[in-house]
């Protein structure tokens, strides 16, 4: 069966397009027969994926970053309609800036090795998250984290992971905060927050915002908390790079827990994102749910 490759040329500031000859060569060297479709606008990836599924292409291969993969997931879900079966299979050629999902599920970032993984055809069913009517594979958030994304998208003079760090510093200096009502499977919280991060995977934007998340455990991981001062937030920032012990979630005012469903109401609208893609409008109400083993993904 012929694969459909969906290329997001803009991913990683057009680096995905620049790397297409390398990506194409890796796929061909791995013996994959494929047809190419190129995304031309925001939201186009989901449309292209849904059409490819309906036309019988398999697997669907995304050449891009985490946002591209999230858009592809939404296209798969759109094409599948209601039902319990897993969608996919989905293959990944990681040409984004952070490639967090690849890290979280153990995919190689070397394109030749990534192509070999796809050609081998080994799949595993991973969980999928849902925020309201939007699906995500890796991460979603309100508060500080998507506010960092807003800053990140405005930075054009820095490339790579450093851009995320500069954006985080700028966002902390603005010191936005909210009051939240948060409910999960067996508990609730009412009070001030600086950030809320909901992870299916451990790492997002290079930061371990939900360091103990597992995309195969049938749970979402919720991290939230409040730091009263900019200094307190700056003290937490370097600890967000810690994968396990010494994480920012161990600090005073921070919590991390696991839940199948999460409900959040904020006293004022907040930016929100799924897989790094910002919602067009700031929102106050967030309904999260995990869909266990919903995505068939090609893994080593």
* For range 14-24, the mean pLDDT: 86
Q: How confident is the model at residue 13 (pLDDT cuts 50, 70, 90)?
A: low
280 shares a domain with 184: yes
The rounded mean pLDDT for the chain is: 93
Model confidence at 150: pLDDT above 80 = yes
124: closest CA among 294, 5, 291? 294
State which residues form the domain around 110. Answer: 3-121
Residues 59 and 171 in one domain: no
Span 79-98, pLDDT tens digits: 998 777 899 999 999 998 88
On whether residue 298 sits in a domain, the answer given is no
The pLDDT score that the predictor gives to residue 96 is 87
167 and 194 belong to one structural domain? yes
Residue 14 has what pLDDT? 67
Q: 230 with 173, same domain?
A: yes
21 and 100 belong to one structural domain? yes
Say if residue 71's pLDDT is above 80. yes
Residue after which a domain boundary falls, among 121, 152, 175? 121
What CATH number does residue 174 fall under? Answer: 2.60.200.40
pLDDT(161) > 80: no
Stronger pLDDT, 16 or 68, i.e. the higher one: 68
In this predicted structure, the answer to whether residue 160 has a pLDDT above a threshold of 90 is no
Is 236 a residue whose pLDDT tops 80?
yes
- 46 and 167 together in one domain: no
Number of domain units in the chain: 2
Mean per-residue pLDDT, 150-156: 83
């Amino acid at each position: 069966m012929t694969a459909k490759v969906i290329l997001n040329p803009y991913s990683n500031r057009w680096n995905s397009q620049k790397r297409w000859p390398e990506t194409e060569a890796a796929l061909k060297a791995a013996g994959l027969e494929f047809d190419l479709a190129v995304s031309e606008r925001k939201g186009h990836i989901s449309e292209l994926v849904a059409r490819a599924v309906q036309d019988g292409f398999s697997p669907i291969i995304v050449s891009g970053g985490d946002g591209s993969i999230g858009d592809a997931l939404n296209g798969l879900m759109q094409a599948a309609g209601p039902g319990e079966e897993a969608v996919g299979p989905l293959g990944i050629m990681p040409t984004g800036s952070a490639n967090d999902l690849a890290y979280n599920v153990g995919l190689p970032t070397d394109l030749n090795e990534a192509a070999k993984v796809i050609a081998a055809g080994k799949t595993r069913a991973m969980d999928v998250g849902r925020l309201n009517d939007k699906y995500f594979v890796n991460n979603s958030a309100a508060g500080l984290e998507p506010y960092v994304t807003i800053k990140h998208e405005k930075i054009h003079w820095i490339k790579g992971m450093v851009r995320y760090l500069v954006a985080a510093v700028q966002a902390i200096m603005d010191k936005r905060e909210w009051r939240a009502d948060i409910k999960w499977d067996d508990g609730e919280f009412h009070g001030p927050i600086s950030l809320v991060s909901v992870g299916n995977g451990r790492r997002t934007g290079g930061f371990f915002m939900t360091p103990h998340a597992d995309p195969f455990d049938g749970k979402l991981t919720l991290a939230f908390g409040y730091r009263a001062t900019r200094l307190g937030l700056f003290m937490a920032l370097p600890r967000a790079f810690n994968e396990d012990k010494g994480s920012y979630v161990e600090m005073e005012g921070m919590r991390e827990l696991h839940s199948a469903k999460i409900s959040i109401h904020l006293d004022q609208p907040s930016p929100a994102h799924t897989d790094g893609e910002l919602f067009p409008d700031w929102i106050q109400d967030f309904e999260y749910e995990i869909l266990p083993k919903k995505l068939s993904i090609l893994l080593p």
